A and B are shown apart, each in its own frame.
Chain A
Amino acid sequence: KQEVTQIPAALSVPEGENLVLNCSFTDSAIYNLQWFRQDPGKGLTSLLLIQSSQREQTSGRLNASLDKSSGRSTLYIAASQPGDSATYLCAVYNQAGTALIFGKGTTLSVSS
């Protein structure tokens, strides 16, 4: 059974720092991987989708990498801002592409 783990569960940084959020998964036979952010009491906002054949994907200050063989993905946030404060969720598709399996998230707090 696929399991997705995100470490750390919580992270506090000062504004301007570059940071890395980690995601690991137990079964490397994934279809795609998607990163989301969730603000308190809100729905999920899609940040990046990395297809299984890709190594990385970039959007603005965000860069996500994927290493299927080691079962890892990282989300790099450059020059963090207080508005980046949220919970970041990593999710992997099963091999059939029918289901996203989520990690429990990393809650990020960026102080000004």
Chain B
Amino acid sequence: IAGITQAPTSQILAAGRRMTLRCTQDMRHNAMYWYRQDLGLGLRLIHYSNTAGTTGKGEVPDGYSVSRANTDDFPLTLASAVPSQTSVYFCASGVQEGNEQFFGPGTRLTVL
């Protein structure tokens, strides 16, 4: 692994289903982030974690949850997917909060 990996690359999901997007980084970064990118709205922060064991809410947290059990992994869960959650999801990390952020390749999610 080099940098940040995200899985799956893309997914089509029925509304109401539960889905977990995975994010793993091998840079031992303390801070990790989840963003969504939508046409016309740009990138918006969903949740963040400044260090393992802590998480915080971003601009658009409703309908999403995260956990940070260890330094490397930061999964994003949609408990009951809705069509408005159709988006491209990016995971990012940085040495610590406020530092340069590095992004993963993204997950394209379609909720029907």
The interface of chain A, by Cβ under 8 A from chain B, is 31-32, 34, 36, 42-46, 49, 89, 91, 93, 96-105
Is B98 positioned at the interface, with any CB of A under 8 Å from its CB?
yes
Most buried by A among B41, B44, B92, B101: B101
Contacts of A42 in B (CB 8 A): 105-106
Is B83 positioned at the interface, with any CB of A under 8 Å from its CB?
no
Across the interface, do A100 and B42 meet the contact criterion of CB distance under 8 Å? Answer: no
Q: Determine the distance from Cα of A45 to Cα of B103 in the docked complex, in whole angstroms.
A: 7
The interface of chain B, by Cβ under 8 A from chain A, is 33, 40-45, 48, 50, 56, 58-59, 90, 92, 97-106
Across the interface, do A89 and B43 meet the contact criterion of CB distance under 8 Å? Answer: yes
Across the interface, do A31 and B106 meet the contact criterion of CB distance under 8 Å? Answer: no
